[in-house]
């Protein structure tokens, strides 16, 4: 039996824990295990790595895509046919694609092609995204750790602001990833569990009202002297236009966003004459493994293991889901959903999780278990010891 695993889309701090779950479970089942380097882009080039005799234990502690990711969408029948040429050449029987919305679309297309050809290929989608916007699953591996990173970062930055505001910066703005869904920016409010967090949160689900926003900033400044703001990169005006974007699209046709933090800061400086500082965590928020959530790490591994177990039982054409059974104590079970139901769909932050500028207790109850616990990597020379496969750099 031969397995092919690959990573796709924006990476997370725990995607490699899912990789470890898939690869270790497959090896234990006596399979020959291959990895596609840089997702389907590498598979189309026959850039595969056999990992049966490799040490993969460090994957559980390593952020980002250890085997390389990609943002390639299988748009044409030519691409699909070429991919199957490789799959047939290497006699692959099981394919696990680890990614988000667009990746589930790719997995679905591959599953459909296998069905059309009568080819005995089992295809399972392994979810990951810091955006937490995949439908039919309570949450996604990668989100809990990114949420924890955001919550801690805004806490620490707000403490810095609180120290200096008397005759220095009065407003701090953090620009946070999240094109359409506000799950990640909402995490900036979790710091209030321990006494300090974002004073204002700008969600992509709430149309941006400049006047109302500036009134709230002014109100908070008058009340306590400083204001900490978390803004989603995807906030829009009522006419649907992004408050800020880079002016071009990526390979999936998505508008490239960025710079909204500086746009918001400019409004504050111009209208309220307040000294403002901006921070953009960017890659840091999705690859901050040093402070990752233990819950997230363990669940990421389990979705990988579950994918292999189900595929071996004959399941195909599905994505693994996480189903929450209880908050106290926090318990989950693992299920499935058909890939075509997930492909290119978005799960938005529910209205009961936020108001105009703040999160609600419902969101706190939802998110708190997902950021619990720590499972630190080993440190060497005062720095985390991460696993780096040099084969990924060979083209």
Q: Would you list which residues are annotated within the binding site for Mg(2+)? A: 101
24, 105, 131, 199: which one is catalytic?
Answer: 131
Q: What is the 3-state secondary structure (H, E, C) of 26-46?
A: HHHCCCEEEEECCHHHHHHCC
The owner of tokens 């500086």 is 262
- Annotated binding residues, written as ranges, equal 10, 101, 129-131, 177-179, 233, 283-286
Element housing 310 (H / E): helix 294-312
Q: CA triplet 166, 172, 178: central angle to 5 degrees?
A: 165
The kind and range of the H/E element at 317 are none
What is the distance between the terminal CA atoms of the chain, rounded to a whole angstrom? Answer: 27
For the annotated binding site for substrate, the residues are 129-131, 177-179, 233, 283-286
State whether residue 47 is helix, strand or coil. coil
| Whether the Cβ atoms of residue 246 and residue 258 lie closer than 8 Å to each other | yes
Closest CA to 9 of 150, 94, 87, 126: 126
Binding residues for diphosphate: 10
Q: Is the Cβ–Cβ distance between 176 and 185 less than 8 Å?
A: yes
How big is the CA angle at 267 (ends 263 and 268), to the nearest 5 degrees?
A: 120
Is the distance from CB of 250 to CB of 256 less than 8 angstroms?
yes
What tokens does 280 get? 């953009």
53 is catalytic: no
Whole-angstrom Cα distance, residue 120 to residue 331?
A: 35
Contacts of 204 (CB under 8 A, 6+ apart): 178, 179, 180, 181, 182, 185, 232, 234, 235, 236
Run of H or E including 65: none
Handedness of CA 26, 32, 37, 41 (dihedral sign): negative
Cβ neighbours around 298 below 10 Å, total: 16
139/321 Cα distance (integer angstroms): 8
Catalytic residues: 131
């Amino acid at each position: 039996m031969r397995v092919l695993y690959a990573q796709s889309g924006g990476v997370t701090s725990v995607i490699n824990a899912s990789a470890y779950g898939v690869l270790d479970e497959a090896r234990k089942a006596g399979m020959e295990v291959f990895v596609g380097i840089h997702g389907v882009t590498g598979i189309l080039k026959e850039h595969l790595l056999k990992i049966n005799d490799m040490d993969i234990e460090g994957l559980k502690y390593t952020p980002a895509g250890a085997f390389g990711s990609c943002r390639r969408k299988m748009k044409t029948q030519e691409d699909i046919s070429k991919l199957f040429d490789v799959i047939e050449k290497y006699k692959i029987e099981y394919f696990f694609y680890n990614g988000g919305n667009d990746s589930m679309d790719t997995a679905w297309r591959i599953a459909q092609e296998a069905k059309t050809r009568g080819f005995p290929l089992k295809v399972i989608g392994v979810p990951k995204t810091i955006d937490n916007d995949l439908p039919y699953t309570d949450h996604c591996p990668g989100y809990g750790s990114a949420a924890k990173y955001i919550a801690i970062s805004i806490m620490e930055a707000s403490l810095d602001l609180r120290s200096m505001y008397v005759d220095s910066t009065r407003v701090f703005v953090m620009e946070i990833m999240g094109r359409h869904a506000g799950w990640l920016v909402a995490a900036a409010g979790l710091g209030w569990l321990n006494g300090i967090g974002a004073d204002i949160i700008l969600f992509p689900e709430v149309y941006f009202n400049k006047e109302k926003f500036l009134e709230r900033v002014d109100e908070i400044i008058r009340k306590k002297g400083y204001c900490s703001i978390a803004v989603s990169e995807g906030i829009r005006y009522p006419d649907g236009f992004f408050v800020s974007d880079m002016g071009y699209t990526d390979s999936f046709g998505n508008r490239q966003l960025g710079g909204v933090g500086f746009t918001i800061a400019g409004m504050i400086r111009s209208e309220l004459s307040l000294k403002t500082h901006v921070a953009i965590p960017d890659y840091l928020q999705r690859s901050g493994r040093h402070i990752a959530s233990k819950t997230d790490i363990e669940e990421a591994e389990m979705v990988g293991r579950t994918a292999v177990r189900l595929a071996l039982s004959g399941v195909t054409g599905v994505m693994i889901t996480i189903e929450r059974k209880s908050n106290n104590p926090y318990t989950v079970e693992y299920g499935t959903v058909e890939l075509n139901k997930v492909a290119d769909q978005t799960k938005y932050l529910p209205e009961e999780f936020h108001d105009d500028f703040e999160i609600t207790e419902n969101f706190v109850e939802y998110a708190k278990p997902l950021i619990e616990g720590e499972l630190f990597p080993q440190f060497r020379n005062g720095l985390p010891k991460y696993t780096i496969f040099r084969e990924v750099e060979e083209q």
